Structure 1
Amino acid sequence: MGGRGTGARAPLPGRRGPAAGATGTHRLVGLDMARGTALIAMMTTHILPTFQQDPTTLLWSATWVGTSLSGRAAALFAVLAGVSLTLGRVPATRNRLGLALRAGVIAVVGLTLGLVEVNVAVILVHYALLFWCALPVVGLGRRALGLLAGAWILLSPAVAFLVRPVLLGPGPSPHLAHNPSWEDLGDPGRLLADLMVTGYYPVFQWFAYLLVGLWIGRAPLTRASTQVGLLVGGAAVAVAAKTAAWSFLVPLGGINALMATDQAAIWPLRAMLEANLSGVDQVGTWWWLTTAAPHSGTPLDLLHTSGTSAAAIGAFLLVARVAPLMRTGFLTPLAGAGAMTLTLYSLHVWALSWPAVQDAGLEREPLLAVHVAAALALGLLVQANGWRGPLEALAHGATRLGLAAGRTTAGGAPRGTPPGRSG
């Protein structure tokens, strides 16, 4: 949910910005289109079912939403968050205070949304915590970021696997079982355990996505070779990760070990391995780490969703490069929506809490169509007028405040900082 308001604000198509030429504009529009797509994909997973039950056999199976979008949309948001930290006239490397304050705005919005009754796992507090965790590493070079991202993908799930049984042991449950809200600040230990390890978006493993995003953002994204490399390389990594997971589970018998766990007696585990493994306590056997199930936080899951995210970013950067005329159609409002995802995501979650929406008899497909149409219409309005979304403007103000405070502390503008707007 970085958007242009929380990173660099891209000029409108046909309008040359103060520091961006045509290729720079195409790069930012491509990233906004990726964000807009991630937003719509998340809306889809929130509104349409990811599981379905056969009325005859009572067996559960994954829907097309669960198998195609679950896990991938949220991961794309997180990877794009890392990319956004490398953009702007004054990137986060030289404005860490601004990054911290921006994350604070996102956390405030997330904690407030936690107060509404909604059957959606709100990501914003986790998103803010990812930004705070990035503060020590935003200045690393691309090679160091690549090595750290690879190590994090491989090792963080194993560490979480060892820590999780300790947290789930005797005593109060570390699961919040609800979205983080202001009330949870009264129990900071439980809140931190849920955010970092046991919750829906475990920040400890998800930090890998931010590292991957930083690594991608350090690449020369205006080059066609980079864009093709992200598309082809990301797709290859994603396919390889899923293939490896299938090899572990089927030929090597991992699925039998998982079906013998206590969790298989509680959950429809086979369906969840295809659509969403969140809520399942992955304890008791190391075979859990061999899956690539959505929201499992395993090495192969992180690798697969990092690959799909890289491929999506490469694809939209290529679209912005080779098909600029297409942006006057559907892609213009899509990019506009991607430039204000913090506002649109928050409105989407709030709207889902309305009593009329909570009515079980409400058709989900028309509801999704309304949410998507509203997001695209607002995106078009913003794109046409060069505005920021209201929450993006607030986050941007926090970023500028951090930059101004840094200048005051340093006795002037940092060396190399051009005059004018910050990123």
Structure 2
Amino acid sequence: MSEDDSTHQDATHAAMPAEAGRVPRKRLTGIDAARGLALIGLTAIHFLPAENEQTHEATLSWTLFSGDSAALFALLAGVGLAFATGGRHPRTGRRMTGARVGVAVRALLIFALGVAINSLMPEDPPAFNILTYYGIFFVLTIPFLHLPARTLFLSAAGFAVAAPVLMLELGDQVPEFSSGNPTVIDVLTDPGATLAQLLLTGTYPALPYLTYLLVGLGIGRLHLHHVEIQTRLLVIGVGLAVTARLASWLVLYIFGGYHQLTHAASLDEETLAGILIWGPDDALPAGSWWWLAITTPHTNMPLAIAWSLGVSLAALGAFLLLARKVGPWLLPLSAMGAMTLTLYSTQLVLLSFELHYDQPQLWFLLYLVLAAIFALAWKRAFGQGPLERLVSTAAKKASTTVLPSSSGADRE
């Protein structure tokens, strides 16, 4: 999701607003294209089976997209927040205060949209809605919006380590959530369990996911139009992903972590192998810090975060570089990526009818084709997506309430 929130960013990709004769930079198509890929990844996870019926192994779609698509969305949401708050030169004074108010309003609207959609979902949902979590993501980023890139990267590293430790330490002490997709009723009747789910125990817990948001926020403070920065994102991303997987393999299979987990967590090898592929049904079993070494999707352990972050950085760098050469060919992808809030929300409503189970591949392809056609047509006719425009307009109006009404509004 982007600056607009859940998955998109509508913020113009100029690093700074036009001022003092400065010409705004061209929108970075590669960012929208990367967001479009993240939407395709989540769509694959939602529609397509995770397990091969014959071999009982993970399907290609699960292997490619599980966990990483959501991480890419969160990373790009951070980039969008950076663009919306000054790009390379973070706003200060009242303009930053206004930006914080706008982000808070954006968070509230996305959270409200998320819980409204959740009320349509069956008890055993076909998908877990990330929008509800996004509202929390944005609220938690507000204190970090003024920080420079280096501080943001260091803060992200802190969350990548501290949040997993907190999850293991508190996993069996926090209240269990009652719904995979929290509704308004859950928020009102069981606020403690709902908050614990959104922060620590849910599918997209906000505390570990702040790693992706803060890295994205830091990336948005860089010279993203420069080919050197784009290349570094690709190289660092590949290096980080490879290092995370290699470190996990060494700890688990060379230094005895796998053996330790079977004993400390009282697991047989078949159960442990299943957790390492699919993740646990609920929280990771208590009793061992060796869980910190796994890279299983949605476990949100340090090396799992590092892997998904590396994949996300590499994807962003690759699309930024590709857009320099073949930008027009990425138009269907970038058009979808520019209005992911609208398309993702529509997808969840469609999934709530549970029509796709008999022919998942057909529904997957049908959705993508219709989403691409709609995005291209709407973008050409109206520009910003419908939900994106609604959220963006409300956020901008809220942010202007703290600015002077005179011509000095832009002064810090």
TM-score, with length taken from structure 2: 0.88
Partner of 2:46: 46
Partner of 2:147: 140
* 2:219 corresponds to: 216
Q: Where does residue 373 of structure 2 map in the other structure?
A: 377
Paired with 1:282 and 1:414, the residues of 2 have a C-alpha distance of: 54
Cα deviation, 1:109-152, whole Å, max 9, x if unaligned, reads 10011112231010001111010000101101111111111222
Q: Displacement of 1:107 after TM fit?
A: 0.5
- Residue 181 (structure 2) aligned to one of 156, 179, 182: 179
Residues 75, 305 of structure 1: 8 Å contact kept: yes
Q: Does 1:406 align with 2:402?
A: yes
- The 5-angstrom pairing of residues 363-374 of structure 1 reads 363-374=359-370
Distance 1:375 1:276, change over 3 A: farther
Partner of 2:65: 69
- Quick one: distance in 2 between partners of 1:203 and 1:390? 26
2 CA distance for matches of 1:371 and 1:416? 46
Q: Aligned equivalents of 1:204 and 1:131: distance in 2?
A: 11
Residues 21/39 of structure 1: CA separation in 2 closer, same or farther (3 Å cut):
farther
Q: 1:120 aligned to 2:127?
A: yes
Deviation at 1:189, TM superposition (A): 0.7
Paired residue for 1:170? none
Q: 1:90 to 1:394 in 2, by over 3 A?
A: farther
Matches within 5 A, 1:145-160: 145-160=152-167
Q: Alpha carbons of 1:316 and 1:223: their partners in 2 closer, same or farther (altered >3 Å)?
A: same
Query: Is the CA contact 1:79–1:309 (under 8 Å) kept in the aligned structure 2?
Result: yes
Equivalent residue, structure 2, for 1:415: 410
SS in 1 for 2:254: coil
* 1:24 and 2:25 are equivalent in the alignment: yes
Within 2, Cα distance between the matches of 1:126 and 1:317? 27
Q: 2:239 aligns with which of 231, 236, 240?
A: 236
Cα separation, 2, equivalents of 1:267 and 1:407:
60
Structure-2 residue corresponding to 1:33: 33
Mapping 1:275-290, distance limit 5 Å: 275-277=278-280, 279-290=282-293
CA distance 1:43–1:413, change in 2 (3 Å): farther
Tell me, in whole angstroms, the C-alpha distance in 1 between the residues paired with 2:185 and 2:147: 36
Instruction: State the partner residue of 1:356.
Output: 355
Cα distance in 1 for residues equivalent to 2:104 and 2:309: 24
Measured on the aligned residues, the alpha-carbon RMSD in Å equals: 2.7
Matched residues in 2 for 1:22 and 1:377: separation? Answer: 32
Unaligned segments of structure 2, at least 5 residues: none
Kindly indicate whether the alpha-carbon contact (under 8 Å) linking 1:184 and 1:191 is maintained by their aligned counterparts in 2: yes
Quote the Cα distance in structure 2 between the aligned partners of 1:378 and 1:413. Answer: 41
Identity of aligned residues (%): 32
Go from structure 1 to structure 2 and tell me whether the alpha carbon gap of 1:302 and 1:231 turns closer, same or farther (over 3 Å shift): same
Q: Does 1:337 align with 2:336?
A: yes
What one-letter code is carried by the residue in structure 2 that aligns with 1:400?
Answer: K
1:205 corresponds to? 208
Aligned match of 2:104:
100
Give the whole-Å Cα distance in 2 for the aligned partners of 1:311 and 1:235: 6
Partner of 1:163: 170
Distance 1:46 1:265, change over 3 A: farther
Counterpart-to-counterpart distance in 2, 1:90 and 1:222: 15
Give the Cα–Cα distance (whole angstroms) in 2 for the partners of residues 158 and 365 of structure 1.
38
Structure 1 CA distance, aligned partners of 2:30 and 2:360? 30
Deviation at 1:315?
0.8
1:290-319 CA-partner distances (Å, limit 9, x unpaired): 111111111101111111111111111111
CA contact (8 A) 1:83 1:217 kept: yes
From the superposition, tell whether residues 350 and 78 of structure 1 become closer, same or farther in structure 2 (CA, over 3 Å).
Answer: same
Partner of 2:113: 109
The one-letter amino acid of 1:367's match is: W
Three-state SS of the structure 2 residue aligned to 1:51 is: coil
Deviation of 1:278 (Å)? 5.9
TM-score, normalising length: structure 1 = 0.86
Distance (Å, rounded) in 1 between the aligned partners of 2:321 and 2:307: 21
Q: Quote the Cα distance in structure 1 between the aligned partners of 2:26 and 2:337.
A: 14
Letter matched to residue 81 of structure 1 = A
Mapped to 2, the partners of 1:364 and 1:264 lie a distance apart of: 33
SS in 1 for 2:33: helix
